[in-house]
Amino acid sequence: MELGKEKSIRFFSSLLAFFMVFTLLTPGFASAKTETTLKKSSVPNESIMQMKQAIFEQDQLLQQKPTLHRDLEKEKGQHDVEVIIQLSEESVALSEGKKKVKDLPFTASERAKAQQKVNAQQKQVKQEMKLKKLLVKEGYTFETVLNGFSATVKADDLKKLLDIKGVKLVEPVVEVHAFEDTSVNENGQVSPAMDTSQSFLGIEKIWNKGFKGQGIKVGVLDTGIDYHHPEFDGIYKGGWNFIPHDTGYAKPRADDDPYETTPSERPNDRPEFNANGSSFYTSHGTHVAGTIAALGNNEYGISGLAPAVELYAYRVLGAYGSGSNAGVIAGINKAVEDGMDVINLSLGGGNNSSTTADTIAINNAMLAGTVAVSATGNSGPNRGTIGTPAAAALGIAVGNTTNPEAMYDANVSVAAGDYSNTSNISLMGTTYGVELEKQLAGEYEVVAVPGVGQPSDFEGLDVDGKVALISRGEIPFVDKIAAAKDAGAVATFIHNFGGGTGAPGPSNVFLGDDFEFIPSFDMSQTEGDALRAALASNKGTVTFSDFNVAYTTGDEVNNSSSRGPTTPHFDIKPDVSAPGTNIMSTIPMYGKENPEADYAKAFTRKTGTSMATPHVAGVAALIMNANPDWNAFDVKVALSNTAKVLDTDKYDVFAQGPGRVQPFEAVFPNALAYALDTVVSDGEEVDNTKGTVTFGHLPQVANGDVSVTKQIHVKNLSANASDYDVSVEVTKAFGDAKVTVDQSTFTLNGEQLLNVTLEAPKSDAPAGSELLGYIHITDGETNLSLPFAADFSPVAEAKSGIENFELSGYDVSFHADSKGDPVRLSFDLHNNVLFNYIELWDFFDPFGGYYGDGYIGYLHAGDFLAAGSYYLDIDGQYAPWGGTGLETIPDGAYTVDFTGLNIDEHGDDIIFDWDGPLFVKSTQSKIESAEAHVAEESTYAFTGTVIDNYINYSRDGFGYDVNTKLTTTFEAKDTEGKVISSGPVNLSQDGSFAFDVTGLVDGENIVTIFVNDAAGNSAEASFVVAYEEEVIVDPEPEDVEYVVSPDEIAEQIGNKSKQIIIEVPAYDDGLNIEIDEAIVDTIVKSKADLVIESSDGFSFDLARNVIEKLSKGTDGTLTIALTKEDATEERAISDVYAFNFIAGEGSVINIGKENIEVTIPVDVSNVGKTNKLTVLDLANNRTYKLKYKDGVATFKADGPGVFVAVD
């Protein structure tokens, strides 16, 4: 089945490839120690050595035969393909670099001559393409950092380009993106604070010395800048736009206007938000620029690190924060031509080649004297995830770390009806610049918001000035906060839900502070459910107290930060790390279109290596400001040498590189240390220098001892000599391998050469055998660090096939009200494949589908997919085989299968893998029971059935316990809405259930059954259970069966007994005890208790205050009525005993609630444990605990009643 181009584009815009990168640096390699004696009369200039490596690599590229990039080799047909065409003449920057290597000036005439050669060759190539009708459309032209241009050609003409004289490499134009990590804004944990970066990094100390970046030109290659923002007033100097405003935009844009993409530029046929959640209008570049250069013209102290630079903008990313590598190269080219001292590239994309056009452009920018700072990407924490252009050997690649973070909590006291609770709750979000104690002073009403807190859930709900109780689920936390704020709420409680991370506790989410936030508390599921239940029938209030703030230390590497090493040489990246997590900086208000725009709070927080990179760019500007004679490579080494090494138990050299930037030390170092390396060029050994020690791959350790020596050149930058100590820190060991330095101490007075030797005896080295660590050089004040790395793993065969083909979950619902987590498919593809599909195979119909093979349709189909790492969010839509459009995936159980046709020489012809079962269940449960429920007792056996596809799936082949997929509970309320019983419900495997409802009261009781399934669906159903309480008629005195005589108590009264005991004979049905009024008075005056004892063991004790109440309650004879009958209760271990008090005129005496100790004979012959016995008061619907001993059990009743003991 042929897939149209539109379908291919749709897939590749939704799949994000995490590309491996190749370094341009060749590792040193030797079988014996090199000589340690320096044979040169002087050490070459360090930065010149580093340039040689990049020049050599480019010369090799220019000398190779014309090449078509592998991703283009299988392209065929008459469809358009955008490409970058590199030509054989040296670029202007490369020519300049070659002069610098020889320590010769690059004169104006030489520059003009180089430019003329480039222009002439490009003109000749373009003319020939036109004559041969190969050029469909001309794109960008590159002259300075790259000799080439972008163009659109037909797929069938790609190979014809290689026949044109001067063409050396044809590679695809690929999409690049801003490296902002938006996932943490939804569910991740982040930390506050650009406003703490300055103090944390010690920027003020540099400012106090008079250096704020004056005279340094900084170019931001990004989405543009809102240059109307007051924070850029006076420092913004201009820029260029490299985004064509074609049919994808509503209006044209001038070439010299690098403003952010605005809302008014969106045409009607483009969505406000794309499939990745990115908005058409942009803000990324303004945020990046603010971190570098914001002036601080605000009441909050938010400013950039170098607020006195000259700021330029190069708009290379357009709508949705996307652009092409061709546009990026054009931006680099123009920035170098404009004389930028520093350029910031918080973006990336591209493929796996180490000689891609954008990495070459970065290298040549550095050769031309422009410091190029790039973001590594947000594809961590796995290794080898750094993208281009950060893979460029000479550029500065930046990783993302954290600042110290402020974490707030408070005591929260809520009340609603009979419910009240006080607990300490953490805040997930706070309002920037506002004191919580003042913001939340006083008492507030709490309002339960239905649903999940979407804007529609607030319709018709009054939360103005109140606290909104919102459930977690379905939409990001920040969207819930925004909806509550828009509705007028002063704060939110966002409580967890069943199945949420951390449940039944809080979600453990921290969003930091922002101008757009209102205080938002991270409430547990337990507290949230209880408060929501109380608010269902009562008004609720809350007060806040005891606000507390705690600070973490920062300096953690963000989990999303991309890691090294670069391949194939096991080289160390990033070159330095910097704070990039939840950074506060400037955002656009689009004042260009709206002169009334308010910029007072035009700041927000963003996270990613995009935010870390401008910190380093700002520091680079300060370095150049303070050290005007330094070149780009001196800046790079200073940043690397002086970085703070972070926790090496957590972060190896590929996670943090040399460590977190230390600006003051980088701006004012007393010494720098350069690692020297070599590469063979034209038969000669060429020196190369860099900021790390790379021993590379050493698989030969399996065959014999290995020894490799590298050299470090230490250069004194101060006026005074100093004594230095050298030490080696190993953070990951391998057997007996070791790294040593020939001098553990030395006096630095000018320059010093150190020999660093790695020695490893012959040994087996399984995959992953590495030696990692740091070489530290210090005089107590100056601390220099150089990370090192060696890999002893055996040479691995080329991987083939597909790995890590996994679904993030196996239950999913596409119902609009589902609270379940979305499912993502991810995999690593090791081969390039032609026709490829990701299909759904139906477990229950293996011979169904359009082709009779069980496949109902596909989530993706394409005609080519390059090797790489991918993910695909399963959003509920699929294309049925044989259909004409997208449909919703029906309920069922599926495997998700990948099939691809391998075009590489290695690996199987067909690449195949699958994962599953994926249970799709978008329908809610049905709960069925009898229409009428009538209870004859206060305990009722409720029965019913849950009808659900999960029950069908289990029955039809999967055989799991349905209770693992369906969580069922019940709640019973009386006629006043009070909960009388609740609990879990265990389902039988056919969905039927039975449970006891206890505590029923007279009238219509409501029993509600709740079912929450594994896919996030929920259902409930309510039923009426009618109960008519049995009226227990108090026994009326009939014939007097036992009369208490004065003589019976006289002796006890005379002895002043504390208890007057009246012993009565055993009785079968009933016995009325008559006590004359005078005898009652006598007992009252004795101040003794009255004990009624039956010969069968039943007795009860009436305290003197009870006797007084009985005396006052009768004008004549007091009758104590006793009854006994056989028990009908199944669990009974006694007969049913009752007693009551009757006045002389025959009425019942009400003594109120009074403790009466009752003893009842029991039979425990069939009872296992006697410590959990209870007694039921059938007259008053009460239950009491029993104390058992020697055949009788004692309990304290609240008054007379009808009692039976049960186990």
Task: List residues with catalytic annotation.
Answer: 222, 284, 610
3-state DSSP call for residue 172?
strand
Encode burial over 1-29: b for 16+ CB neighbours within 10 A, e otherwise.
eebeeebbeebbebbbbbbbbbbbbbbbe
Phi and psi at residue 98, to the nearest 5°: -65, -35
Let me know: does 509 contact 543? Beta carbons within 8 Å.
no
Q: State the amino acid at position 260 in one-letter form.
A: E
Alpha helices, DSSP H, located in 748-825: none
- Inter-axis angle of helices 1077-1086 and 1046-1054, to 10 degrees? 10
Q: Running DSSP on this structure, what letter comes out for residue 753?
A: E
Q: Determine how many CB atoms are found less than 10 A away from the CB of residue 153.
A: 22
> CA of 926: how far to CAs of 921, 952, 1012, 1191, in Å?
13, 13, 11, 50
Q: State the amino acid at position 978 in one-letter form.
A: K
Cite the beta strand spans of 552-700 per DSSP E.
576-579, 583-586, 603-606, 671-681, 684-690, 693-697
Q: Determine how many CB atoms are found less than 10 A away from the CB of residue 1054.
A: 9
- Inter-axis angle of helices 632-641 and 609-626, to 10 degrees? 110
State how beta strands 751-760 and 693-697 pair: unpaired
With the C-alpha atoms ordered 533, 535, 541, 542, is the resulting torsion angle positive or negative?
Answer: positive
Cite the beta strand spans of 863-978 per DSSP E.
868-874, 877-880, 887-888, 892-902, 910-920, 926-928, 933-935, 940-947, 966-973
3-state DSSP call for residue 660?
strand
With the C-alpha atoms ordered 251, 252, 254, 258, is the resulting torsion angle positive or negative?
Answer: positive
Cα–chain center distance at 1097? 68
Question: Which of 1179, 1176, 1135, 1200 is CA-nearest to residue 1032?
Answer: 1179
Q: H/E element holding 653?
A: helix 653-656
The C-alpha atoms of residue 677 and residue 693 are separated, in whole angstroms, by 8
Q: Which residues make beta-bridge pairs with 566?
A: 571
State how beta strands 671-681 and 706-716 pair: antiparallel
* Tokens (6 digits) for 630: 């330094």
Q: Is 133 left (phi over 0), alpha (psi -120 to 50) or beta?
A: left
Question: Which of 861, 998, 996, 1014 is CA-nearest to residue 924?
Answer: 1014
- Inter-axis angle of helices 609-626 and 284-293, to 10 degrees? 30
> CA of 993: how far to CAs of 290, 970, 988, in Å?
62, 11, 6
Let me know: does 675 contact 689? Beta carbons within 8 Å.
yes
Let me know: does 392 contact 367? Beta carbons within 8 Å.
no
With the C-alpha atoms ordered 998, 1001, 1003, 1009, is the resulting torsion angle positive or negative?
Answer: negative
Alpha helices, DSSP H, located in 238-374: 284-293, 325-337, 357-367
The C-alpha atoms of residue 346 and residue 220 are separated, in whole angstroms, by 9
Let me know: does 957 contact 916? Beta carbons within 8 Å.
no
